[in-house]
Amino acid sequence: MTTIESAAAPAPSRNAVGRPLLAVDGLGVQFRLRDANVRAVSDLSLTVRAGELLAVVGESGCGKSVLAHALLGLLPGNATVTGHAVLHAPDTDPVDLVTCGQRHLARKVRGRRVGLVPQSPATALNPVRTGRRLLAETLRAHGRDRQDADRLAADVGLDPADLDRYPHELSGGMAQRLVTALALAPDPSLLIADEPTTGLDRPLVDHTLDLLRRRCDNGAAVVLITHDLAAARRVADTVAVMYASRVVEHRDTDRLFTAPAHPYASALLDALPDRAFRPVPGDPPMLTALPPGCAFAPRCPRRADDCATRPLPTPAAGGGTVACHHPIPTGAVT
């Protein structure tokens, strides 16, 4: 059974988005185990534009974090990645993040053109360097003034005095804010934020979300991976709903929250305390044994015989896509 955090009122405005910055086409990720293959991401396609904040939501284990790590080449050796993820920039040639190789990712992409706020900050910080030294080294490596460290700390809601502590001396929320500052230090055109509000109280959650929103308003792009539908509704331009390794709905935020087209997206919203407060019934399938058809069919009240075949993304009302044989009529073109 699944419950989701409460949703707050959305931000009143969104900026228009610009040119494509990241184009993902047919991305797949499989992990080879001794007795099985885990299909963590399947045939995923989406585009993120300059100025856009895309929120990726869904139940734990659906593939959200694997997507982030696949884009940056941070998967273990038993992973196989297929498809394409082309990163565009105005002053450099496009680069396919899937095929360019680790050397190029390490030297030209990670922490430069693409920043990552990791889900587990404690494992991402060097334990023998203070936060100030980590931040100063990052700034210097990218040609920025190391004196900007205090300003960056303040931007993410961290007391600059806390930069003089070692990682083990920081609380979980303080470590989360430090890794956010480190990801922002090179001023990347694309920021992937994997659960960036974990361990933060509500004022700091709002502070962090506003910081991400401002980056998009200034022309960068953000992919926000989150369980918090309140966060998605508050700051995102678009939302991609993942289920069992696939994106089942990808639409404008306001349209998705007011008229979801996919039964799973509707069930997620119905789990909110300010709606029906009804958990999604049943459990998601194992990623080692995904059905050939619609993976949500066993939990879906709208299932029919044709759900035994996999639905492909089709246009949804008002833009975006939905992958469902029987979408909710108010949410999709039928």
Residue 4: pLDDT over 50: no
Q: Who contacts 70 (Cβ-Cβ below 8 Å, separation ≥6)?
A: 27, 29, 41, 79, 81, 85, 98
pLDDT, one tens digit per residue, over 151-191 is 999 999 999 999 999 999 999 999 999 999 999 999 999 99
pLDDT, one tens digit per residue, over 300-312 is 999 999 999 999 9
pLDDT band with cut points at 50, 70 and 90 for residue 12: very low
Q: Give me 200's structure tokens.
A: 């933060």
What does the H/E/C string look like for 80-120?
Answer: EEEEEEEEEECCEEEEECCCCCHHHHHHHHECCCEEEECCC
State the Cα angle at 45 between 290 and 110, rounded to 5°.
Answer: 105
Residue 334: pLDDT over 90: no
Q: Environment class of residue 202 by beta-carbon count within 10 Å: exposed (0-12), middle (13-18) or buried (19+)?
A: exposed
pLDDT, one tens digit per residue, over 16-26 is 568 999 999 99
Residues paired with residue 27 on neighbouring β-strands, in sequence order: 44
End-to-end CA distance of the chain: 30
pLDDT, one tens digit per residue, over 81-125 is 999 999 998 778 999 999 999 999 999 999 999 999 999 998 889
Please state which of the ranges 14-18, 126-130, 211-215, 281-285 shows the lowest mean pLDDT: 14-18
pLDDT of residue 331: 56
Q: Which of 286, 213, 234 is nearest to 53 (CA)?
A: 213
Mean pLDDT score, 290-299: 96
pLDDT of residue 114: 97
Q: Which of 132, 136, 134 is nearest to 146 (CA)?
A: 136
Q: Which of 247, 252, 244, 249 is nearest to 261 (CA)?
A: 249
Rg (CA), the chain: 20
Q: Which domains does the chain have, with CATH numbers?
A: 1-113+188-288 (3.40.50.300), 127-187 (no CATH)
pLDDT band with cut points at 50, 70 and 90 for residue 11: very low
Residue 198: pLDDT over 90: no
The identity of residue 235, as a single letter, is: V
Residue 13: pLDDT over 50: no
pLDDT of residue 16: 57
